[in-house]
Each structure stands twice: as structure tokens, then as C-alpha cells.
Amino acid sequence: MLNRRIAEILRSGKPDESLLVQGWVRTKRELKGFAFIEINDGSSLANLQVVINEDVPEYETTIKNLNTGAAIEVAGVLVASQGKGQRIELKAEKLKLYGEADPETYPLQKKRHSFEFLRTIGHLRSRTNSFGAVFRVRNACSAAIHQFFQERGFLWVHTPIITASDCEGAGELFNVTSLDLKNIPRTENQAIDYSQDFFGKPTYLTVSGQLEAEVMAMAFGNVYTFGPTFRAENSNTSRHLAEFWMVEPEMAFCDLEGDMDLAEAFLKYIFEYVLAKCPEDMEFFNQRIDNSVLATAENIINNQFERLTYTDAIKLLEKADVKFDYPVSWGLDLQSEHERYLAEQLFKKPVIVTDYPAQIKAFYMRLSDDEKTVRAMDILAPKIGEIIGGSQREERLDVLERRVIAQGMKPEDLWWYLDLRRYGTVPHAGFGLGFERLVQFMTGMGNIRDVIPFPRTPQNAEF
């Protein structure tokens, strides 16, 4: 008998079809001589309703154990449902109980649980409606990202997680070492004896794959990374993770305009893809989590993003009839409140701010002829603020060396990165997207810990 998944049955199952379903009980309603069981197999938000009559041979022995969380297999025939809420239901003919879930101890009973509580049972929370929807949407976002880039001939490149360079100056790095922490070996002059460490020198968890992605772009033209990155930042907020996934495309022969075009097409594509693949989950978020989620998605998809320079943005902010907590002045970075004002109040759609002051941006961004600004861009979206940050890269060896030195770094530590400018350099550009921020944005989930299966945050590496 054909084993089918519930999403597919609910979509296209027809009365009189015989099939086999496997999943977990969500609810049970016992009536006289029969019972309704709602089962879920993770393929969709909606459950399949199963009707089990007492004529089913296993009814008497198993019905008392078909509690929330139990794993069962049902063979039966689809019938048109007479109840409300579903088109079709399964009339059981044969029943198998795989694993029980004791209602006295199983933590997921049929009531609403707080997200805080569910974080303490991270190994079970995916069995709830909310987290089921989150991780289906997360998967759809991931698949959309790969499909977008693969369709356009970009290569997925796997940049290293363990790195010996801390040259982005992010500062908050995790150490990676095979040394025995209880007994760190020392040299004669009491320095750490890194010759005994696995890599023979200090190593860290990467904060970005960009520099290595640039290497690959200089050979393949268009590439992207999609992998984990790390920040040992002691921030206990709803927007920070110590371990998070990042997407970083990099394009040779591309300037900031091409970069913005790609980023805008990319965001629209992902939202369209997820709306098409997970309409039911997205509807759920809109109803239960944040009732602006669908409108925001439509806003992204249907609007041409506004593009303006940082300098113009500052002028608009200075004129704004709003009292900001943080000062607005040319040379200062935009704060979240400023970004949200631009996207939500003023333009009411995504805004791309370009050409930021050089001193508040990274050394690798291309210096403009004014020598004051760099060809950077941030995409600010309504409801969340900055979602993408990118730039055209400095491709001129002399300018890059100058900026490396100005920021207190040693050119020799970046010898290979500088070599890219020495041999066959080209204008190139790229951007970074924090993947969990995107999933937060898409689902309306308030806390970033609730959009990654096993969040890593200060004092928490459980599961």
C-alpha cells in the first residue's frame, strides 16, 4: 500500500484511495464506538483527520494509548469529510502504534506553550505548529537561495570555518584549539607554545567567508557562500546568535549598481518562492505571530527599492519631524531607529542607502573619488531594519594597501588578499545576508533563537 505524506494527501488525495500514513498524534477525540485522531507527519501545518471505528481490530487494545505525541501508522481509505475544517479524512482499516507518549510526562500537551518554555525543550519543540512552520519556511528559504544562485550560474563555494586571520577586526572571536586547556604549553619566555597546537598558530571561528569568496570570484566570476559564521559577542538580545548562517555572493566584473540589482532580485525571489511553497505556513504566521507578515512580503515583492545616498539620507533625517534618541549627523552611523524611519515612515518600502562615510565602514570597500565615502550599500526593510549589507570592493592595490595600513593592520597578514589586486584585478562586488534575520523577517518571529533549530547564545549550547 502506498505510503504517502500528509501535505500531499491534503492537497490531492481523492475519496476511495487506499493509503498508508505514518505520523504523530496531535489530538484524540473519543466518541461512542469510534474516535477522531488528528495526525501530523511534519510535511504540513494541517493534520490529517483519521476516523477509527471500534471495528478496526486494534481499536480496543490501542485506543487508550493514542495520546498526543504517540507515533502511529494507519492504513485506510480516504473519504470525503462530513466535518468542518477538512475536505477529506482517512477511514482507518488497520492501525499500528509505534511509540507511546505518556500524557503524565510528555511536555507537549494540547495547550499553548510559551516560546521561552519551548526553548528548554529544543529537542521536542519542532513538533509544535509554530516551530513546524518556522523550520519548513527556513528550509524553503534555503532552497530558494540555492536555486536563485544556481539558476544564474553562481558556484556555491565552501569557505573555511577555522581561520588563522582575525583581520576583519571584528575582535570578538572564538578560539579554536586542540591544546589541553588545563595545561597550556609554554615556550621558554612563557608565551603560548602554538607549535604544539593543531595548526601551529592561533586559530578562530570565522566571522565571514567574504575574503575567501573574493578569491573564488577572481577565478569563477560569480560565486556565493552559504554557511555558518560566528561571533563571540556577549549580547543577550533577541537579535543576536553566537552561531548563525550567512549568505555572501561575490561577483567579478561588477560594480555597486550590479550588486544592488542582484540583491533586490534576490530578496524578491526568496519571498516569492516561500509564498509559493509554504502558503499555509505563511498564513499561519500572519494570523498567529505577526499580522503584517504577508503585507511585508508583498511590499518587498511589488515595490522597486528606493535607492539614495547616505548623504541624502542624512538630509532627510535631519528634516524629519521625529524625535530620534540618537543624533543624526554626517559621519555617524545610522541607528536602527533611523533605518526604520526611512523604510517604514518615509518611503514605506525597502530602501537601499549607498555611499557611506569611509571611516564607519570596512577597509575593503571601494573608496570613491571624493575620498570621503565608500561604495557601500545597506538594504533597510520595513519592520526589521538592515537586512543586507554589501559593497563594491577596493580593487586598486595601492588604495587597498593604504587603507589596510590606516586601519592598523599589516599588509603581510593579508598577502594573499592583496595578491588578488596584484594579478588580474577587476572591479567586483558582493553582499552579506544574515540568514536568521531573513527568516525572522519572513515569519515575524520575535526572537532569533526561535528561527534556528539549536541556538547558541551566551551560557547556552544545549542539545
Gyration radius (Cα) of the chain, Å: 27
User: Using CA atoms, how far apart are residues 28 and 106, in angstroms rounded to an integer?
Assistant: 15
Nearer to its own copies, 385 or 432 (CB): 432
Set of cell numbers at residue 393: 570592493
Q: Which is nearer to its own copies, 116 or 462 (CB)?
A: 462
* Residue 389 C-beta: closest distance to its own copies, Å: 21
How far apart are the C-alpha atoms of 217 and 426, rounded to whole Å? 10
Choose among 210, 199, 200, 216: nearest CA to 167. Answer: 210
Q: Which is nearer to its own copies, 117 or 326 (CB)?
A: 117
Closest-CA residue to 308 (of 351, 252, 358, 261): 351
Provide the H-helix boundaries in 95-157: 115-120, 129-151
Compute the least distance from the CB of residue 80 to its own copies, in Å: 25
Provide the CB-side half-sphere exposure for 102 (13 A, CA): 2
Q: Are 278 and 132 in contact (CB under 8 A)?
A: no
Q: How far is CA 311 from the centre of its chain?
A: 31
Smallest distance from the beta carbon of 285 to its own copies, in angstroms? 17
Please work out, in degrees rounded to the nearest 5, the angle formed at the alpha carbon of residue 455 by the alpha carbons of 453 and 457.
Answer: 180
In the complex with its own copies, the residue whose CB is nearer, 117 or 253, is 253
Q: Of 21 and 342, which has the nearer Cβ to its own copies?
A: 21
Q: Shortest distance, CB of residue 362 to its own copies, whole angstroms?
A: 19
If we measure between CA atoms, which residue out of 231, 239, 211 comes closest to residue 170?
231
CA distances from 46 to 40, 111, 130, 284, 452 (A): 7, 17, 12, 10, 22
CB nearer to its own copies: pick between 304 and 423: 423
Cβ proximity to its own copies: between 306 and 401 the closer is 401
For residue 56 the three cell numbers come to: 478496526
As measured in angstroms, the least distance from the Cβ of 99 to its own copies is 3
Nearest distance in Å: CB 164, its own copies:
4
| Burial zone of 109 (CB within 10 Å; 0-12 exposed, 13-18 middle, 19+ buried) | exposed
Could you give the 3-state DSSP secondary structure of residue 338?
helix
CB of 131 to its own copies, least distance (A): 8
Least distance in angstroms from the C-beta of 128 to its own copies: 9
Residue number with CB closer to its own copies (149 or 310): 149
**Number of residues assigned to the chain:** 463
Start-to-end CA distance of the chain, whole Å, equals 37
Nearer to its own copies, 81 or 177 (CB): 177
Please state, in angstroms and as integers, the Cα–Cα distance from residue 45 to each residue in 83, 330, 433, following that order.
Answer: 19, 48, 28
State the nearest-atom distance from the C-beta of 403 to its own copies, in Å.
18
